[in-house]
Amino acid sequence: MLWGGALIALLILCALTAQWMAPYDPILQALNDRLLPPSPHHWMGTDQYGRDVLSRLLYGSRVSLAVGLVAVSIYIFIGTFVGSVAGYYGGWLDAVLMRLVDILLCIPTFFLILMVIAFVGPSILNIMVIIGITSWTDVARLVRGEILSLKEREFIQAARVIGMSDTRIIFRHLLPNALGPVLVVATLGIGGAILVESSLSFLGLGVQPPTPSWGNMLEEGKDHLTDAWWLITFPGLAIFLTVLGYNLLGEGLRDYLDPRLRGSGRNG
């Protein structure tokens, strides 16, 4: 977990300080300096337009961090709401909501996102919202299961006896006790959202040039695999380390929050 936390802290630091850390303007073209290899003047080289790769990589971290955090926040909110309502009230409402979840789970999420973007058009905001509203189903099932196991406990029965409202029971007693697994899913989901954004940008359906993102940097560098290896290597490494960091952090949180795993001697 410590290694994951360190990688994520580095990503956040790069995103917050990009305008000071970047040695050049990330969209400024200098055709006389095109396709320069890594050097003391350009630590990660330049692209086909003479733009500094390091500067674009730093600014691209802002896109990845924003997409991951906003998209996951949206689908955690939707999934938690749907799962808590279905699990607490049960009956026909639970049946309807879970059948909706089952239908959405039958549709490949990435292709659903592609279809929606084809209609609404690519932009950072659209990507964040679309990932959020198409990825909440697993969270809903998880929260529903946690609520079902908690709502028959003695402390919930006592809350009902004293006349506490359903809303108060859900938000004050049930959800706080069910959010441990949701926190793990959210952490792992940020890495997944970053991968989706990078894939969309690579296909030309995500963040549009000249705004730098790691995905469109990979797309622009694919035509120079043999003569400019750095155009693919550094953005690919950034995506790999970021997703690895979130996965390590999520696994560490799962081990920490699950007493059975802590008792077995595992550590994050």
Domains of the chain, earliest start first: 47-263 (1.10.3720.10)
How many helices and strands (H and E) does the chain possess?
13, 0
Average pLDDT in the 145-169 region? 83
Supply the pLDDT for residue 55: 94
Provide the percentage of residues in the chain whose pLDDT is more than 70.
95
Please state, in angstroms and rounded to a whole number, the distance separating the CA atoms of residues 245 and 43.
23
* pLDDT band of 111, cuts 50, 70, 90: confident
Residue of 261, 255, 238 lying closest to 191 (CA atoms) = 238
| Whether pLDDT at 112 is above 90 | no
What pLDDT, on the 0 to 100 scale, is given for residue 258? 65
Task: Please check the confidence at residue 223 and state whether its pLDDT lies above 90.
Answer: no
pLDDT at 34 over 60: yes
Mean pLDDT value of segment 240-267 = 74
| Tokens coding 28 | 């400024």
Give the confidence band of 166 by pLDDT, cuts at 50, 70, 90.
confident
What's the chain's average pLDDT?
A: 87
Q: What is the mean pLDDT of residues 11-22?
A: 91
